[in-house]
């Protein structure tokens, strides 16, 4: 069966970790034999799970030590509870202390209703831990392609990550389809219209609007390759500035003072050879993701004005992991997104506005064709990551 | 002096009455109801085309909108009772008597109406049996049929979903009845002629395609590990030892899982070319990976399947296609093929009793039979030998000299011991029997009779009923694969172990099946998207099955 | 939650050397089975936590069948049940025993 691609969407949390890290390198923290289960679920006569729906531990990826977490999307929809959250918070704090990069395989509907307060607090703690780890120079890479998607507080945490790698099946949002329908009416959003859900929250759309950095096929090997590439960056270019779509007037871009200083053009890293590389990979030359045949990326250097993409440096030497300038730039980017696409009624309108000739054809495109298209037209993911 | 042409004269009267609402053969769509009231007579025997797939839906709506004071007490003869209108006509009194074959989505309502006396039931048939009666004692006076397109002469193109149309038209038109077709469009030149225009008397331009239900699409995403285990049992314990090459599959997830295991598990067992090469089967999307991997030599289809059209047209070596390139299906011929030219039928059911009778009819649901009893029965008229047929015959009757021994078709019931809503597959008494008592029917609606059933496969194992020599052995063989249902827990454990020694019962461990292989990674496709990709983008799944 | 304990004679000792195996997840109609080793090679201890109350007889039958059919001696098995059907429980138990026989990944 070895010729069969392993579906990331299908895999459970433990299978994902096994597919991701070097064979035999994974050491679990607070494993199922410890039986650290939820103290809340029993009150509601709901069964617990021995690992509370998240697997955390240390491992190596191509020999480099990392920390890794994977949510189990089938247990309570991968939702955050007290223990589940504490395991991830602890892992992130360890990452900061050890200076080790972290890979998180998200698969979550948000916070468990049965332990909402604990879960909400956990979300806040995790976001803080992500940010603190990043300020300390740790890279936090999120992988999204599971059954439950990445919703609620999971969407917020994902937004704090350094790099997000997503497949078509992955959905990223804060508010889920059913909640939107319940609150706004079926006319506003029909949660049973699966095609609508996917083109509003799915991996392709998130890639096109810059909500995710790297698009991969639903293949565990592709996720591994993309994660490896994201972690392999020698520098930590957390303040790489956005690449704006070529349709965006440069003057408009320059009007945003924060990138005036963008002077180093992408051409330093191998120009055309990195068509396949995402923004966050771009300082790393194309070769590093050569193995990721289906993983794509984004603002391919050559296709965009050299001036449009440039790392922001912090004077000389070390770049800050995450700083105010970075956040301000991200804020500006999100404001531009609203200004530009706020009136769009459907994702296809946004894709049209991005310059895609046949937006309706996007959902059916195979990963490689979509990669080529997205590299040319996408709004780039950006600085906050 | 007896008149010998009264039927044709009546047809001429109907044609004349309808002509006022038509130009040539083309009925004015806005006058459909008036037209139908003009050509129909109270008490007519009417065939309304519709089966488990295609529907003459616009004509069905027109029929239901008629004035019951003018047209009433119709005798409906039809393959499928599927649309709400099919029963509305009984509610309003337009129709009174019903002979049918299949009633999937209306199974609960039809049961209620039968109990309430709204419907006078003729019989529940198999497809082939009902078709046969169209030519003997249920010949329609009027047939309302569906086609893709027509030309001005009334020639019809029925496209991939030809299905029942040629049979219905043959019986009605040559039996001096009136044929009315709804079509999606009128064209100058048809892609091919499926029904000659001189057999068609009126044509209604419905302005849209007829309705088709994607009934044979099983989403691999919903397949369970138990279904995969059961499918592995079937492949290793039945397909392999009997060398089954010519077969029909039912519609359920268990058989769809088998289709998806052929290029993986079947390949591992080295069975390519040795099993599953020739089929009487609808174009199941789950067969795509096996076709693409070169397992399948030929498939004849009862009907088509929504979204498969381009794929079928691109694989004419495998499927029967017309000069226009598109699929030509034919339910009557494919059912005949399933009856006579297949060595195995394997399908699912809702209930099996201790003798081995099975039925999809429960006390509150009358789902009908469709074609399963044709496929799922031993063809007593069969005379050609084949290895699996001879082997099964020898197992059933080892004592008769081989040249005088009948072979046996393998008729296999496959399912999980607990079905939907945790309903047990095995029961003491079939719901069909209770229904027969309640409705005072002469026959309980049994889908596959015990004496036709050769094997039962569940996740617990395979029961080979051919090898049972007594009723007691047979009962214990059934209990021995009935898992933790009441029936299964009521087994005689010692006897079941003896049956296991004689290989009447085979468990996964007896066949060397590793439970760790019962894993979704074993499926050649794990989603509808995978099926689309396996087809090279030719399969275009309907939106309800899409996840992208 | 209903907690059920079984501790029964198991004729065949479990194989392999792995300390622990985990199969399945807690979800609707599914369950997780945590298999660990104990000091009594001729017994199998099973603890079940289930939200579906009142099915002790059925669990009894499933567990007896499992221990009779599989090499379960010397195992300590803990189950969190999300309302799985007996056939699913049987399959998971069989998978758990097979998994603990496998070499460490």
Average pLDDT over residues B471-480: 98
Q: Which chains touch C (3 or more CB pairs under 8 A)?
A: A, B
**Do B484 and C61 make contact, defined as CB atoms within 8 angstroms?**
yes
With bands split at pLDDT 50, 70 and 90, how would you rate the model's confidence at A267?
Answer: very low
Going by C-alpha positions, the residue among B57, B513, B293 that lies closest to residue C94 is: B513
Distance from CA of A340 to the nearest CA of B (A): 25
Q: Which of C65, C87, C98 sits opposite B226 (nearest CB)?
A: C87
Range with lowest mean pLDDT among A368-377, B335-344, B467-476: A368-377
- Residue A241, pLDDT score: 35
- Residue A366, pLDDT score: 86
What are the boundaries of each domain within chain A?
13-245+302-329+364-377
Average pLDDT over residues B445-455: 96
Range with lowest mean pLDDT among A143-152, B327-336, B432-441: B432-441
CA distances B95 to A190, B78, B90, B98, B172, Å, are 39, 12, 5, 8, 19
Mean residue pLDDT of chain B comes to 96
Q: Give the whole-number percent of chain A exceeding pLDDT 70.
A: 75
Q: Is the pLDDT of residue B263 over 90?
A: yes
**Do A23 and C32 make contact, defined as CB atoms within 8 angstroms?**
no
Distance from CA of B448 to the nearest CA of A (A): 37
- Residue B453, pLDDT score: 98
- State pLDDT tens for residues A60-98: 999 999 999 999 999 999 999 999 999 999 999 999 999
Range with lowest mean pLDDT among A2-11, A134-143, A159-168, C70-79: A2-11
| A47 close to C (CB below 8 A) | yes
- State pLDDT tens for residues A192-222: 888 899 999 999 999 999 899 999 999 999 9
| Helix, strand or coil, per DSSP, at residue A119 | helix
- Residue B420, pLDDT score: 84
d(CA B142, CA A59): 74
d(CA B389, CA A115): 61
Q: Which of C58, C88, C102 sits opposite B226 (nearest CB)?
A: C88
Q: Which of C61, C62, C94 sits opposite B515 (nearest CB)?
A: C94
d(CA A13, CA A355): 38
d(CA B348, CA B506): 19
Q: Which of B224, B459, B515 sits opposite C95 (nearest CB)?
A: B515
| C26 close to A (CB below 8 A) | yes
Nearest CA in chain B to A203: B548
**Do A10 and B520 make contact, defined as CB atoms within 8 angstroms?**
yes
Chain centroid offset of residue B13 CA: 37
Question: What are φ and ψ of residue B99, in 5° steps?
Answer: -120, 125
Q: Which helix (H) or strand (E) holds C79?
A: strand C75-81
| C52 close to A (CB below 8 A) | no
Residues of B in contact with C65 (CB under 8 A): 484
Nearest CA in chain C to A50: C80
Distance from CA of B226 to the nearest CA of C (A): 7
Residues of B in contact with C25 (CB under 8 A): none
Average pLDDT over residues A147-165: 95
Q: Is the pLDDT of residue A385 over 60?
A: no
Nearest CA in chain A to C104: A24
Range with lowest mean pLDDT among A195-199, A265-269, B24-28, B321-325: A265-269
**Do A1 and B547 make contact, defined as CB atoms within 8 angstroms?**
no
**Do A12 and C25 make contact, defined as CB atoms within 8 angstroms?**
yes
- State pLDDT tens for residues B61-72: 999 999 999 999
Task: Quickly name the fold that domain A13-245+302-329+364-377 has.
Answer: 2-enoyl-CoA Hydratase; Chain A, domain 1 (3.90.226)
d(CA C51, CA B183): 55
- Show the beta-strand stretches assigned E in B191-300: 202-205, 211-212, 246-249, 278-280, 298-300
- Residue B546, pLDDT score: 83
Q: Which of B268, B543, B548 sits opposite A202 (nearest CB)?
A: B548
Nearest CA in chain B to A198: B548
Mean residue pLDDT of chain A comes to 79
Residues of A in contact with B526 (CB under 8 A): 7, 10
| A25 close to C (CB below 8 A) | no
Q: Is the pLDDT of residue A381 over 90?
A: no
| C61 close to B (CB below 8 A) | yes
Where does residue B204 rank: exposed (0-12), middle (13-18), buried (19+ CB within 10 A)? buried
Average pLDDT over residues B48-72: 96
Q: Which of C21, C27, C91, C97 to mutate to test the interface with B (most CBs of B within 10 A)?
A: C91
Q: Which helix (H) or strand (E) holds B64?
A: helix B57-64
With bands split at pLDDT 50, 70 and 90, how would you rate the model's confidence at A52?
Answer: very high
d(CA B242, CA B258): 16
d(CA A223, CA A215): 9
- State pLDDT tens for residues B510-526: 999 999 999 999 999 99
- Residue A370, pLDDT score: 93
With bands split at pLDDT 50, 70 and 90, how would you rate the model's confidence at A3?
Answer: low
Nearest CA in chain C to B515: C95
Q: Is the pLDDT of residue A368 over 80?
A: yes
Question: What are φ and ψ of residue B257, in 5° steps?
Answer: -65, -40
d(CA B412, CA A262): 72
- Residue B170, pLDDT score: 98
Q: Is the pLDDT of residue B83 over 70?
A: yes
**Do A45 and C104 make contact, defined as CB atoms within 8 angstroms?**
no
- Residue B544, pLDDT score: 82
Nearest CA in chain A to C36: A33
**Do B521 and A1 make contact, defined as CB atoms within 8 angstroms?**
yes
Range with lowest mean pLDDT among A37-46, A234-243, A291-300, B277-286: A291-300
C-alpha torsion sign, points B177, B181, B187, B189? negative
**Do C90 and B509 make contact, defined as CB atoms within 8 angstroms?**
no
Going by C-alpha positions, the residue among B205, B263, B405 that lies closest to residue A4 is: B263
With bands split at pLDDT 50, 70 and 90, how would you rate the model's confidence at B421?
Answer: confident
Going by C-alpha positions, the residue among B286, B331, B255 that lies closest to residue B102 is: B331
- Count, residues in chain B: 548
Going by C-alpha positions, the residue among B63, B35, B28 that lies closest to residue B48 is: B63
- Residue A248, pLDDT score: 31
| C50 close to A (CB below 8 A) | yes
- Residue B456, pLDDT score: 98
A195 and A169 in contact (C-beta within 8 Å)?
A: no
Chain centroid offset of residue C105 CA: 21
- State pLDDT tens for residues B116-172: 999 999 999 999 999 999 999 999 999 999 999 999 999 999 999 999 999 999 999
Q: Is the pLDDT of residue A310 over 50?
A: no
- State pLDDT tens for residues A314-338: 333 344 467 788 788 888 888 988 9
Residues of A in contact with C25 (CB under 8 A): 12, 49, 72, 74-75
Q: Is the pLDDT of residue A251 over 50?
A: no
Range with lowest mean pLDDT among A304-313, B202-211, C46-55: A304-313
- State pLDDT tens for residues A98-108: 999 999 999 99
Helices (H), A21-59: none
d(CA B33, CA B62): 5
- Residue A288, pLDDT score: 29
| C49 close to A (CB below 8 A) | yes
Residues 83-102 of C with CB under 8 A from B: 85-88, 90-91, 94-95, 98-99, 102
**Do A50 and C78 make contact, defined as CB atoms within 8 angstroms?**
yes
Residue ranges and CATH numbers for the domains of chain C are 2-101 (3.30.230)
Structure tokens at C7: 């501790």
Residues 6+ apart with CB under 8 A from B129: B101, B373, B374
Q: Which of C12, C62, C86, C93 to mutate to test the interface with B (most CBs of B within 10 A)?
A: C86
Q: Is the pLDDT of residue A245 over 50?
A: no
Residues of A in contact with C30 (CB under 8 A): 74
Q: How many CB atoms lie within 10 A of CB B248?
A: 28
Going by C-alpha positions, the residue among B412, B269, B446 that lies closest to residue B343 is: B412
| Helix, strand or coil, per DSSP, at residue B43 | coil
Q: Which chains touch B (3 or more CB pairs under 8 A)?
A: A, C
DSSP annotation string for B352-395: E-TTS-EES-BTTB--B-TTHHHHTS--TT-----HHHHHHHHH
- State pLDDT tens for residues C14-37: 999 999 999 999 999 999 999 999
- Residue C105, pLDDT score: 63
CA distances A273 to A282, A290, A291, B171, Å, are 10, 10, 14, 69
Say if strands A163-167 and A140-144 run parallel, antiparallel, or are unpaired. parallel
**Do B484 and C87 make contact, defined as CB atoms within 8 angstroms?**
yes
Q: Is the pLDDT of residue B412 over 90?
A: yes
Q: Is the pLDDT of residue B316 over 60?
A: yes
| C64 close to B (CB below 8 A) | no
Structure tokens at C72: 């379960």
Helices (H), B95-213: 107-115, 127-134, 165-174
Question: What are φ and ψ of residue A200, in 5° steps?
Answer: -95, -35
Q: How many CB atoms lie within 10 A of CB B198?
A: 10
With bands split at pLDDT 50, 70 and 90, how would you rate the model's confidence at B236?
Answer: very high
Range with lowest mean pLDDT among A377-381, B139-143, B416-420: A377-381
Q: Which residue has the higher pLDDT, B21 or A257?
A: B21
Residues of A in contact with B521 (CB under 8 A): 1, 4, 6-7, 10
Q: Is the pLDDT of residue B341 over 80?
A: yes
**Do B521 and A6 make contact, defined as CB atoms within 8 angstroms?**
yes
Give the alpha-carbon dihedral of A351, A354, A356, A361, to 10 degrees.
-10
Q: Is the pLDDT of residue A268 over 90?
A: no
Nearest CA in chain C to A19: C105
State the Rg of chain C over Cα.
Answer: 13
**Do A194 and B546 make contact, defined as CB atoms within 8 angstroms?**
yes
- Residue B365, pLDDT score: 86
B346 and B412 in contact (C-beta within 8 Å)?
A: yes
Give the alpha-carbon dihedral of A289, A292, A298, A304, to 10 degrees.
60
Average pLDDT over residues A301-309: 30
- Show the beta-strand stretches assigned E in B270-371: 278-280, 298-300, 344-347, 351-352, 358-359
Structure tokens at B500: 């296991």
Distance from CA of A303 to the nearest CA of C (A): 44
**Do B548 and A9 make contact, defined as CB atoms within 8 angstroms?**
no
**Do C91 and B422 make contact, defined as CB atoms within 8 angstroms?**
no
- Residue A255, pLDDT score: 28
- State pLDDT tens for residues B371-410: 999 999 999 999 999 999 999 999 999 999 999 999 999 9
Residues of B in contact with C99 (CB under 8 A): 516
Mean residue pLDDT of chain C comes to 95
Nearest CA in chain B to A6: B521
Q: How many CB atoms lie within 10 A of CB C11?
A: 11
| C36 close to A (CB below 8 A) | yes
Q: Give the whole-number percent of chain B exceeding pLDDT 90.
A: 93
A297 and A276 in contact (C-beta within 8 Å)?
A: yes
B217 and B308 in contact (C-beta within 8 Å)?
A: no
| Burial track B339-365 (b if 16+ CB lie within 10 A, e otherwise) | bebbbbbbbbbbbbbbbbbbbbbbeeb
Nearest CA in chain A to C22: A32
Nearest CA in chain A to C83: A47
With bands split at pLDDT 50, 70 and 90, how would you rate the model's confidence at B465?
Answer: very high
Structure tokens at B507: 């468990």
């Amino acid at each position: 069966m070895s010729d069969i691609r392993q579906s990331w969407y299908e895999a459970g949390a433990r299978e994902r970790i096994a597919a991701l890290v070097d064979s035999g390198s994974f050491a679990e923290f607070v494993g199922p034999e410890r039986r650290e289960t939820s103290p809340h679920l029993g009150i509601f006569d709901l069964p617990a799970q021995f690992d509370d729906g998240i697997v955390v531990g240390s491992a190596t990826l191509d020999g480099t030590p990392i920390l890794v977490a994977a949510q189990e999307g089938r247990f309570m929809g991968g939702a955050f509870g007290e223990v589940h959250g504490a395991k991830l918070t602890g892992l992130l704090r360890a990452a900061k202390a050890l200076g080790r990069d972290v890979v998180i395989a998200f698969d979550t509907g948000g916070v468990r209703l049965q332990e909402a307060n604990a879960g909400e607090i956990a979300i806040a703690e995790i976001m803080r831990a992500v940010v603190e780890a990043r300020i300390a120079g740790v890279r936090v890479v999120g992988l999204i392609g599971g059954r439950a998607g990445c919703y609620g507080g999971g969407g917020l945490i994902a937004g704090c990550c350094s790099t997000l790698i997503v497949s078509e099946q992955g959905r990223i949002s804060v508010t889920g389809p059913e909640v939107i329908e319940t609150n706004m009416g079926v006319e506003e959003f029909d949660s049973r219209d699966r095609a609508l859900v996917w083109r509003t929250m799915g991996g392709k759309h998130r890639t096109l609007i810059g909500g995710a950095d790297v698009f991969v096929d639903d293949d565990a090997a592709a996720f591994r390759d993309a994660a490896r590439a994201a972690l392999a960056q020698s520098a930590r270019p957390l303040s790489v500035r956005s690449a704006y779509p070529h349709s965006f007037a440069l003057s408009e871009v320059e009007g945003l003072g924060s990138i005036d200083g963008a002077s180093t053009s992408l051409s330093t890293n191998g120009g055309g050879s990195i068509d396949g590389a995402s923004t966050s990979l771009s300082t790393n030359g194309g070769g590093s993701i050569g193995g990721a045949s289906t993983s794509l990326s984004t603002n391919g250097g050559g296709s965009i004005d050299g001036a449009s993409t440039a790392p922001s440096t912090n004077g000389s030497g070390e770049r800050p992991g995450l700083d105010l300038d970075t956040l301000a730039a991200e804020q500006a980017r999100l404001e531009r997104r609203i200004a530009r696409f706020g009136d769009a009624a459907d994702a296809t309108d946004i894709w049209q506005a991005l310059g895609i000739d046949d937006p309706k054809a996007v959902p059916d495109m195979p990963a490689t064709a979509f990669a080529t298209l997205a590299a040319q037209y996408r709004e780039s993911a950006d600085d906050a990551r | 002096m007896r008149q010998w042409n009264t039927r044709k004269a009546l047809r001429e009267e109907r044609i004349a009455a309808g002509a006022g609402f038509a130009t040539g053969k083309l009925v004015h769509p806005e006058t459909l109801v008036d037209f139908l009231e003009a050509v129909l007579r109270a008490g007519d025997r009417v065939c309304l085309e519709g089966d488990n797939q295609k529907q003459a839906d616009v004509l069905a709506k027109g029929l239901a909108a008629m004035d019951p004071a003018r047209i009433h007490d119709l005798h409906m003869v039809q393959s499928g009772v599927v649309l709400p209108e099919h029963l509305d006509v009984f509610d309003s009194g337009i129709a009174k008597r019903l002979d049918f074959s299949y009633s999937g989505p209306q199974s609960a309502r039809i049961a209620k109406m039968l109990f309430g006396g709204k419907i006078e039931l003729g019989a529940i048939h198999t497809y082939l049996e009902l078709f046969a009666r169209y030519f003997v004692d249920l010949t329609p006076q009027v047939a309302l049929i569906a086609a893709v397109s027509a030309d001005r002469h009334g020639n019809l193109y029925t496209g991939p979903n030809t299905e029942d149309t040629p049979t219905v038209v043959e019986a009605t038109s040559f039996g001096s009845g009136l044929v009315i077709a709804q079509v999606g469009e009128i064209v100058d030149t048809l892609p091919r002629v499926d029904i000659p225009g001189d057999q068609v008397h009126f044509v209604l331009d419905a302005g849209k395609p007829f309705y088709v239900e994607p009934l044979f699409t099983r989403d691999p995403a919903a397949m369970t590990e138990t279904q995969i285990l059961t499918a592995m049992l079937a492949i290793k314990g039945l397909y392999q030892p009997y060398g089954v090459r010519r077969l029909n599959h039912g519609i359920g997830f268990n058989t769809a899982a088998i289709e998806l295991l052929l290029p993986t598990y079947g390949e591992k067992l080295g069975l390519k070319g040795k099993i599953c090469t020739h089929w009487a089967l609808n174009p199941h999307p789950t067969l795509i990976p096996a076709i693409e991997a070169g397992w399948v030599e030929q498939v004849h289809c009862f009907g088509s399947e929504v979204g498969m059209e381009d794929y079928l047209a691109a694989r004419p070596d495998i499927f029967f296609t017309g000069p226009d390139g598109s699929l030509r299906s034919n339910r009557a011929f494919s059912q005949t093929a399933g009856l006579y030219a297949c060595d195995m039928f394997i399908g699912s059911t809702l209930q099996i009793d201790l003798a081995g009778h099975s039925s999809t009819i429960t006390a509150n649901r009358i789902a009908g039979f469709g074609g399963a009893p044709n496929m799922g029965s031993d063809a007593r008229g069969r005379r050609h030998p084949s290895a699996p047929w001879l082997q099964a015959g020898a197992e059933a009757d080892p004592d008769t000299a081989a040249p005088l021994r009948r072979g046996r078709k393998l008729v296999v019931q496959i399912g999980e011991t607990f079905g939907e809503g945790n309903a047990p597959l095995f029961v003491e008494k079939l719901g069909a029997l209770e229904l027969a008592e309640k409705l005072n029917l002469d026959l309980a609606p049994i889908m596959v009779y015990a004496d036709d059933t050769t094997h039962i496969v569940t996740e617990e194992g395979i029961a080979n009923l051919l090898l049972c020599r007594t009723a007691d052995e047979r009962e214990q063989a059934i209990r021995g694969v009935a898992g933790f249902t009441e029936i299964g827990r009521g087994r005689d454990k010692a006897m079941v172990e003896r049956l296991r020694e004689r290989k009447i019962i085979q468990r996964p461990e007896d066949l060397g099946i590793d439970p760790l292989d019962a894993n979704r990674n074993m499926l050649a496709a794990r989603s509808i998207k995978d099926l689309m990709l396996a087809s090279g983008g030719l399969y275009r799944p309907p939106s309800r099955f899409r996840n992208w | 939650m209903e907690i059920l304990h079984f501790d029964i004679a198991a004729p065949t000792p479990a194989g392999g050397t792995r300390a622990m195996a985990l199969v399945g997840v807690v979800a609707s109609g599914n369950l997780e089975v945590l298999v660990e080793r104990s000091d009594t090679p001729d017994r199998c201890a099973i603890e079940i936590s289930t939200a579906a109350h009142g099915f002790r007889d059925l669990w009894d039958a499933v567990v007896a069948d499992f221990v009779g059919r599989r090499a379960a001696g010397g195992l300590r098995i803990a189950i969190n049940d999300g309302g799985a059907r007996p056939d699913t429980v049987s399959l998971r138990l069989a998978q758990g025993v097979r998994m603990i026989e496998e070499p460490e990944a």
